Structure 1
Amino acid sequence: MQLDRWHQIKDLFSSALEHPTAERSAFLDRSCGEDIELLAQVRSLLDAHESSLGFIERPAVERAGLAPALEPLNWQGRRLGNYRIISEIGRGGMSHVYKAARDDDQYYKEVAIKLLRPGLDTHSLLQRLRDERQMLAQLSHPNIAQLLDGGVTETGAPYIVMEYVEGQPIDAYCEERGLSITSRLDLVRTLCGAVHYVHQHLMVHGDLKGSNILVTRSGVVKLLDFGIAKLLNAASDPSHTMVNQVVALTPAYASPEQIRGEPITTASDVYSLGVLIYKLLTGTLPFEVPGELFGWEAAAAVGDRPPRLPSVAAAESNAPAYRRIARQLRGDLDAVVMKALSKEPEDRYGSAEHLAEELHRYQRGFPVHAHPPRPLYRTRKLVMRHKAATVAISLFAVAIVTGVVTTAWQAHVARMERARAERHLAEIRKLTNTYLRDVYGAAVNLPGATEVRKLLVENSLKHIAALEGEAQDSLDFKRELAQAYLRFGDVQGDYLGANIGDTEGAVQSYRRALRLREQVAEQSPTVTDLSDLLRSYISLSELLAAQSKLDEAIPLAESANAVGKRLVAMPDARSEDHRMAAAAQMLLGTDLSTVDLPRALATLRSAQETFERLLAEQPEDPGARRDMALIHSRIGFAHIRAEQYEPALEHYLKSSDYAEQLAQEYPADAAALRGAAFVGVNVGEAYNHLKQPDPALEKIQVALSRVEHLQRTDPANEQATLAIAYVLNHLGDSYLLKGQPETALIHLNRALQLVNEAPPAKPTDIAEIRMLPGMTNFRLGKAHSMLGEQHQRDAATFLQSSVMRLQDLTNDPVIGKDAQRLTDQARQLLQDVS
């Protein structure tokens, strides 16, 4: 073929790449006119480009019959900068990859070097290689092939020097070793973590497939080839659309919107992950797209039809190994994979992280979100995990069902025998409350107890809601229902105790309890009913304040304080009523700490006086000592908000004295251990603010051992896991103050792993949970910045992530000041490391 003919083909090919996929056919028809041969050759190049298998597959020019005109230079033995080429390890449609070694006087290291194929040095393709190099420069992750260096050849073409990965494509690796389903899913979950990391840096990979994911001999996953990746225009488009259209893809792994040439999002990578899981579990692809098709033709070949279920594909496989596991794929794994492969992006998992979490739920035997949430399904999953826990739930279910049936019958009888019916209803309510208390209490320390509590709440709330309609004018019934709702709220989201992490559900339960108790107190303003009303005000206000909803929390605290004053003025008020009134003052003072410090401190000191008087009356009462621990902790918190660290430390130490006594006396009491742990962290935080890391470490390390014990007791409790990450953050902060960033990184990396494995923080979560991701990334960035020049890129990555996560919290009424302080420090450090 003549050289000028090749230049014509190359220029037309480059121009076609500048057009969106859907418009290329029309462009080529106009440009080629009657030259059918030219059209076929350019289409062949585009075909190979579209169906590319990464940078180590059969070159597009060979498929077009142009290989003789594009023979690569013989790079073996030649040098690029400080690197000597050893051998070619792969070639792709657009590039060659060589194994090389750095062999200057500094050190020896094997690397991979990626170069554009000769003759393809058009402006657009050169820019794509530069873009890929820039993207890789922003990424530093153990499961992503690392960019090491870069430069230009003697002809001015850019090249990329990357980490040399000696491994197999993930599908071949699994196939050769005959890995179990669990082992394959473990690899995918690791890969999801790397993909989520890419997405956090506002990029999509765009070409996830087996050959771009290598697994080393030691089982380490490495994600390769960002040649298609594009930055997300997150600032201007909240839907995360692409700045530019993707110009290459692998049809068998590409999402429907990607094949159609439409703007793609992170959901497109989730789809490709779904294809990969399908391949690893069945040995085949969900759709076999012919290699000669691309763009709209590939989309038409796939159509709107769904793929076969993975279990069906495995059962019909020619390989006995896949036929043997087909039964295990039915149900949950079928549902998970099909959700990832949904035709519409919004129907897939919201992120790669959510997909990883779903796979983890399957592996641990928990219900998956992709499966229809039928009660029978959830119960079956529970039975499979915990037979002992199932016994408790079964007893509870029997009691509830019996109670509901009997209640319905008695409601019918009540018209004739109202007094007798109410006596029976009281007995049923007593039985129900006993089960709520005893079954829940017995389940707290069972393995998987959090899931037991969650199932208990979900099923019980339905029955309680049904009973509410029977309350009518019965004050006793309303009192019992309110008490039940309050207990449910505690189980759902009492952030000071063990809970299932459903803070919004807890708010709704607390609101129902408050509404019922307001009705009761209006008709029966007795000491008992006012005291119950006060408890409901406190529970709801405290949780709303923890969610930073001070505009609701403070008025409720004011109402609680008013009820408390009314209560203690009554002649038959008890010591417990005085304690609850002081608790209302403590709550109001805490809520005011951010907005009115003088009034907050005055209110808190008034509560302190009451608690001190009650303790003097009953010095051995554990409840009185717990109140003293709480009030000193809240006063310390108020001083922390005002950056008054010495008085804060003084009160935190007093709080710690009381909390430690309780923890020593009640070593099996989870609430006592939890309280002592967090007071210990408070003391450590105050010491850190005063630049005294040694006494801080002493307190925080004890706190860490306690929260780890609580997490081992209830491993499914996500709040306990995040508590560990919270304590590790303060431990890392102490080591940073000591000038020991290497030790700090050990704890902070563990904290980051725990944060990344947990579900993403929600706007309704408590402030500490919403702050945790940004705070962790900030301290990781700070630690790397202290380690010298070779860690500056990692420092910048973590600091940028912290700014992205924290800036949305700077207007928060509770944690906004802290978020702004860390954001300002992160931006200053970014300037220092850039």
Structure 2
Amino acid sequence: MPSPIPVTRLLPRDFGLNLGVCSSPLTKQLGHATLRVPVNAFHGKLACRLWSSVIHWRELDDLEPIGSGGFGLVFRATYFGETVAVKRVKCAKNKLASRQSFWAELNAAHLRHENLVRVIAASTQDNGEDSLGASGDGVIGTIIMEYAGDVNLQQAIYSAAEPLRPESCVRYATDMARGLCHLHAHRVVHLDLKPANVIVSRAGVCKLADFGCSLKLEVVCDRDASARRMEIGGTYTHRAPELLRGEDATPGADVYSFGVTFWQLLTRDPPYEGERQHILYAVVAFNLRPDLNKHVFSQPEPGRSFKELLSRCWSAEPSQRPSAEQLLAELSEIPP
């Protein structure tokens, strides 16, 4: 039964509430009404409260392309005078997967955590201009996010002149585990955790980004939705074997991906070499995992602790993997 108390009575007096439509066609409808999300102005202390389903296009300036992917383009820009990242999701060959990717990006939009890239605003409406590239035609939506940093973890691992020190690896891994803890506590799984999807801020803090493969665990009970989700995939080198078999996602799938990413931090090597199909088959059928015989794991400590933790992250049985909370506890106990 709906509460008789107006929603505005539950919010601060300075909270300017309005409603903007930004509802996924893949979500269920309540009767004949479209699901709506509360929105607010971006400026001032309201910026950390809720994401907005309305983009104030006139406040979006100085767009500069900084990247592209399978589902769209990424820009650096200013929004209400603040530097932001803007993701323009377009319709790729697989139209359903493109739409799913856009809506999946918003699975964590309501969350606020220092180790997650924050969503500021998103809209399915078009600004009617070509400043964001390919306006109108095939554009599914636009997402404005905090500009978390200039470098991702992939660049920090492979482009640096010197390898990361073990203590830096543990610190970055701890940041990722904290982000996963917050996601999993709110029943969201990332499903595409890898170095390229972790932003390193100028302060050296890692933030999980790119939620285009993410999933709210409540959706798993819908078998058809779960099957469609598998079409989006993820990065095969970091994808848990149960997902490769088409099974339902659990938080353990993120822990598996965390393990591969942590291994890359420690070794500066790619996880596997060889043809994709051969690797996929070996991971599922023969428990192929990244090599734990590297020099870094041969040291009594912390090498032994690294090796033991990674082995459990990669267990073939998701229930045997540590939780994100256990990862945090064990990382804090690794000797220097």
Task: Give the TM-score, by structure 1 length.
Answer: 0.30
Q: What is the SS of the residue equivalent to 1:89?
A: strand
How far, CA to CA, are the matches of 1:234 and 1:126 in structure 2? 16
- Compared CA separation, residues 289 and 222, structure 1 to 2 (3 A): farther
In the alignment, structure 1 residue 280 sits paired with structure 2 residue 265:
yes
How far, CA to CA, are the matches of 2:289 and 2:227 in structure 1? 30
Give the one of 245, 258, 261 matched to 2:229.
Answer: 245
Deviation of 1:174 after TM superposition, in Å, equals: 4.8
Q: What is the SS of the residue equivalent to 2:191?
A: coil
Amino acid at match of 2:141: P
Amino acid at match of 1:159: T
Amino acid at match of 2:181: H
In the alignment, structure 1 residue 95 sits paired with structure 2 residue 72:
yes
Give the one of 106, 115, 140 matched to 2:112.
Answer: 140
Query: For the Cα contact (< 8 Å) 1:252–1:288, is it kept in 2?
Result: no
The aligned residue for residue 195 of structure 2 is 210
Deviation of 1:194 after TM superposition, in Å, equals: 0.7
Deviations 1:297-335 (A, max 9, x none): 64314332443653x22x2xxxxxx59x85545432211
Deviation of 1:139 after TM superposition, in Å, equals: 1.2
Task: Give the TM-score, by structure 2 length.
Answer: 0.70
- Compared CA separation, residues 306 and 329, structure 1 to 2 (3 A): farther
Query: For the Cα contact (< 8 Å) 2:194–2:261, is it kept in 1?
Result: yes
Q: What is the SS of the residue equivalent to 1:99?
A: strand
Deviation of 1:282 after TM superposition, in Å, equals: 1.6
Q: What is the SS of the residue equivalent to 2:144?
A: strand
Q: What is the SS of the residue equivalent to 1:136?
A: coil
Q: What is the SS of the residue equivalent to 1:331?
A: helix
Deviation of 1:357 after TM superposition, in Å, equals: 0.9
Deviation of 1:337 after TM superposition, in Å, equals: 0.9
- Compared CA separation, residues 261 and 360, structure 1 to 2 (3 A): same
In the alignment, structure 1 residue 116 sits paired with structure 2 residue 120:
no
Give the one of 306, 315, 319 matched to 1:346.
Answer: 319
How far, CA to CA, are the matches of 1:170 and 1:112 in structure 2? 17
How far, CA to CA, are the matches of 2:182 and 2:76 in structure 1? 27
Query: For the Cα contact (< 8 Å) 1:144–1:224, is it kept in 2?
Result: yes
Query: For the Cα contact (< 8 Å) 1:90–1:98, is it kept in 2?
Result: yes
Amino acid at match of 1:169: N
Deviation of 1:144 after TM superposition, in Å, equals: 0.8
How far, CA to CA, are the matches of 1:352 and 1:289 in structure 2? 30
Amino acid at match of 1:227: G
Deviation of 1:290 after TM superposition, in Å, equals: 3.0
How far, CA to CA, are the matches of 2:288 and 2:93 in structure 1? 38
- Compared CA separation, residues 345 and 159, structure 1 to 2 (3 A): same
The aligned residue for residue 162 of structure 1 is 145
Query: For the Cα contact (< 8 Å) 2:260–2:290, is it kept in 1?
Result: no
How far, CA to CA, are the matches of 1:137 and 1:117 in structure 2? 19
Query: For the Cα contact (< 8 Å) 2:220–2:226, is it kept in 1?
Result: no
In the alignment, structure 1 residue 300 sits paired with structure 2 residue 286:
no
- Compared CA separation, residues 188 and 289, structure 1 to 2 (3 A): farther
Among all aligned residue pairs of Structure 1 and Structure 2, give the percentage whose two residues are the same amino acid.
26
Q: RMSD value over aligned CA atoms?
A: 3.0
How far, CA to CA, are the matches of 2:194 and 2:60 in structure 1? 29
- Compared CA separation, residues 195 and 243, structure 1 to 2 (3 A): farther
Q: Which has the higher contact order (CA 8 A, sep 6+)?
A: 2
Amino acid at match of 2:121: D
Structure 2 residues not aligned, in runs of 5+: 1-25, 27-55, 129-135
How far, CA to CA, are the matches of 2:268 and 2:306 in structure 1? 15
Give the one of 304, 309, 312 matched to 1:336.
Answer: 309
How far, CA to CA, are the matches of 1:329 and 1:203 in structure 2? 31
More strand by share: 2
Amino acid at match of 1:264: A
Describe how 1:189-208 pairs up with structure 2 within 5 A.
189-208=174-193
How far, CA to CA, are the matches of 1:86 and 1:307 in structure 2? 41
Q: What is the SS of the residue equivalent to 2:78?
A: strand
More helix by share: 1
How far, CA to CA, are the matches of 2:243 and 2:216 in structure 1? 15
- Compared CA separation, residues 124 and 299, structure 1 to 2 (3 A): closer
Structure 1 residues not aligned, in runs of 5+: 1-17, 19-78, 316-321, 365-834
How far, CA to CA, are the matches of 1:186 and 1:157 in structure 2? 37
How far, CA to CA, are the matches of 2:95 and 2:145 in structure 1? 23
Query: For the Cα contact (< 8 Å) 1:242–1:265, is it kept in 2?
Result: no
Deviations 1:47-94 (A, max 9, x none): xxxxxxxxxxxxxxxxxxxxxxxxxxxxxxxx9453125211110011
Query: For the Cα contact (< 8 Å) 1:195–1:352, is it kept in 2?
Result: yes
Query: For the Cα contact (< 8 Å) 2:197–2:209, is it kept in 1?
Result: yes
Q: What is the SS of the residue equivalent to 2:236?
A: coil
- Compared CA separation, residues 308 and 101, structure 1 to 2 (3 A): closer
The aligned residue for residue 17 of structure 2 is none
| Structure exhibiting the larger radius of gyration computed from Cα positions | 1
How far, CA to CA, are the matches of 1:243 and 1:140 in structure 2? 29
Q: What is the SS of the residue equivalent to 2:286?
A: coil
How far, CA to CA, are the matches of 2:104 and 2:260 in structure 1? 27
How far, CA to CA, are the matches of 1:124 and 1:286 in structure 2? 26
- Compared CA separation, residues 101 and 184, structure 1 to 2 (3 A): same
How far, CA to CA, are the matches of 1:244 and 1:208 in structure 2? 20
Q: What is the SS of the residue equivalent to 1:137?
A: coil
How far, CA to CA, are the matches of 1:123 and 1:308 in structure 2? 33
